[in-house]
Amino acid sequence: MTNENAAFIQSQIALLKQTMLTLLAPGEEYALIDFPDHGNVGDSAIWLGEIEVLQATQGKVPRYVCDCGQYDPDALRRAHPDGPILIHGGGNLGDLWLRHQNLRERLIRDFPDRRIIQMPQSIHFKSSERARQFWALARQHGDVHVLARDRRSFEQAAAELGKQCGMSPDSAFGIGPIQAHTPPRAPVFCLIRQDVEQSGFDFSPVLNRPGVMAADWLEEPATYLRFVKVGSALRSVAAGRQGAQRVRLAKYQRLAETRVNRGLRLLEQGHHVLTDRLHAHILSVLLGKPHLVLDNNYGKIHGYMAAWTRDAPTARPVGSVEEALVAFKAWGV
């Protein structure tokens, strides 16, 4: 089946590559910090896209990778003695997800002599004091560069860092077009977030319709997760990729691929998708699936769409569940 979004997706990939080459010299070595070792499918999609884009622009994988719990500045220096350090992108620059923000701030303090590049992020601070402290730290460092995914985040970063910030699409587009593996089972699949960013919309008018399916994608089977981690490490060694960093990267890649595939199987269940998750939107674009997009609780998703995906052929923002119902009726759903 032809993906209506194919040309649009390639335009986003080109923008990602162009952006990275403004911050990294072709072939330059790099590290990539904060692998998302949790069940949120969207963060794994970002990781896979980052690796794809960086391999395309740099011709190599990162010399050092870690998740929040494995960060070790001495190990980073041994594996990557010079050159820029990149921080995984997403929506955690701010004080909603403090574990990741604390790692970001520790990294900036630990490496005052390195270029620090924040991969594309949405920025949201509830506390003005916490925001002031972070931007002061970034300015004091002097070589922190922040890529923003939306206009509001960019304006906040630009006010603090000036030319050391820019705008970029979300790195998940680096995955490229995706071919669906399973046929749809329902007229509509609702991917509804159940965390601190949940929209608060009442989805029951959609959920009560015949055949509609719904889920979030945060939960993953613990037994299968353990199997993937052990199997990934064994396969990387068997393939001759000795060395702690190669083994770790191979494990991360397998974990991210498994999580993204789990999310894709969910989205593929619907002929159409309704969601309030940014990466359910982006993966639906990559799949070429018609979908409607509600915002999260602080405007991240529609802000992103306004900046980058308003021209994606199969995507449409909606302001309410009632508006979604009208749109589905127009689509004959």
Its sign, for the CA torsion 190, 43, 315, 261, is negative
This model's pTM is above 0.85: yes
Q: Decide if 175 contacts 56 (C-beta within 8 A).
A: no
Q: Which two tokens stand for residue 79?
A: 């594996």
Domain positions in the chain:
6-174
Strand order, beta sheet including 291-293:
213-215, 186-191, 270-275, 291-293, 315-317
- The reported pLDDT for the residue numbered 242 is 58
Q: Which two tokens stand for residue 242?
A: 């000795």
Asked whether the predicted pLDDT for residue 238 surpasses 60, the reply is no
pLDDT confidence band for 223 (50 / 70 / 90):
low
Q: What distance in Å separates the CA atoms of residue 60 and residue 302, rounded to the nearest whole number?
A: 34
Asked whether the predicted pLDDT for residue 253 surpasses 60, the reply is yes
- The reported pLDDT for the residue numbered 231 is 64
pLDDT confidence band for 225 (50 / 70 / 90):
low
Q: What is the pLDDT of residues 189-215, one digit of tens each?
A: 999 998 888 888 899 999 999 889 999
Average pLDDT over residues 29-47: 96
Asked whether the predicted pLDDT for residue 109 surpasses 70, the reply is yes
| C-alpha neighbours within 13 Å on the C-beta side of residue 278 | 32
Q: What is the mean pLDDT of the chain?
A: 93
- The reported pLDDT for the residue numbered 197 is 84
What percentage of the chain carries pLDDT values higher than 90?
82
Asked whether the predicted pLDDT for residue 3 surpasses 70, the reply is yes
Q: What distance in Å separates the CA atoms of residue 236 and residue 49, rounded to the nearest whole number?
A: 20
- The reported pLDDT for the residue numbered 295 is 94
Q: What is the pLDDT of residues 152-177, one digit of tens each?
A: 999 999 999 999 999 999 999 999 99
- The reported pLDDT for the residue numbered 297 is 85
Asked whether the predicted pLDDT for residue 233 surpasses 70, the reply is no
242 phi, psi to nearest 5 deg: -65, 155
Q: CATH fold of 6-174, please?
A: Rossmann fold (3.40.50)
Q: Which two tokens stand for residue 292?
A: 């409607």
| C-alpha neighbours within 13 Å on the C-beta side of residue 117 | 20
Count of CB atoms situated within 10 Å of the CB of 199: 18
Asked whether the predicted pLDDT for residue 333 surpasses 90, the reply is no
